[in-house]
């Protein structure tokens, strides 16, 4: 891959992260249902058209946030597994459960948004692009507990 292609890929990933950061901020401040794509675009300092190049709608943004949050949790679990590689078992399981609880409630706005999505039905339409990846991440997360 050329240097220019690498730079463009890196810039696209950075812009996507900036959009997700803005969406998270707006969702937490205004609530998911009340949040508007225009407010998210403004918070990301992008035009609405650019926002729609990355995410089709709020559900896709929420799924992007969920997937990013899952990946952060899986990274945390990986570090815990590495620390306990020589002695897995109850000690690791306790650390994983504690890490999971800590991750899900910090900040509390994340937990509030997740619980609101679950309380109103299935959090995502299974046909939504990326939903399968999020489901596989859930399997990995709980597989880590089973492995411990």
* Residue 20 pLDDT level (bands cut at 50, 70, 90): very high
- pTM, two decimals, is 0.80
Distance of CA 88 to the CA centre of its chain: 27
Q: Is the pLDDT score of 117 beyond 90?
A: no
Distance of CA 100 to the CA centre of its chain: 14
Compute the distance between CA of residue 68 and CA of residue 45 in angstroms, rounded to an integer.
Answer: 21
Q: What confidence score (pLDDT) does residue 118 get?
A: 65
List pLDDT tens digits, range 88-106: 688 888 888 888 888 877 7
Average pLDDT of the chain?
A: 86
Nearest to 147 by CA among 98, 84, 102: 84
DSSP per-residue codes, the chain: --HHHHHHHHHHHHHHHHHHHHHHHHHHHH-TTT--HHHHHHHTTS-HHHHHHH-SSHHHHHHHHHHHHHHHHHHHHHHHHHHTTTS-SHHHHHHHHHHHHHHHHSSHHHHHHHHHHHHTS-SS-TTSTTHHHHHHHHHHHHHHHHH-
* Residue 147 pLDDT level (bands cut at 50, 70, 90): confident
């Amino acid at each position: 891959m050329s240097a220019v292609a690498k730079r463009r890929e890196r810039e696209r990933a950075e812009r996507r992260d900036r959009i997700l950061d803005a969406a998270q901020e707006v969702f937490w401040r205004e609530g998911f249902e009340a949040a508007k794509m225009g407010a998210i675009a403004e918070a990301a300092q992008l035009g609405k058209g650019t926002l729609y190049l990355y995410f089709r709608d709020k559900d896709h943004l929420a799924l992007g946030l969920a997937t990013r949050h899952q990946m952060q949790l899986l990274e945390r679990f990986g570090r815990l597994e590495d620390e306990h590689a020589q002695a897995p078992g109850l000690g690791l399981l306790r650390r994983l459960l504690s890490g999971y609880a800590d991750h899900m409630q910090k900040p509390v706005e994340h937990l509030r948004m997740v619980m609101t999505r679950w309380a109103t039905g299935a959090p995502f339409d299974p046909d939504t692009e990326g939903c399968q990846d999020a489901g596989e991440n859930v399997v990995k997360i709980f597989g880590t507990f089973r492995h411990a």
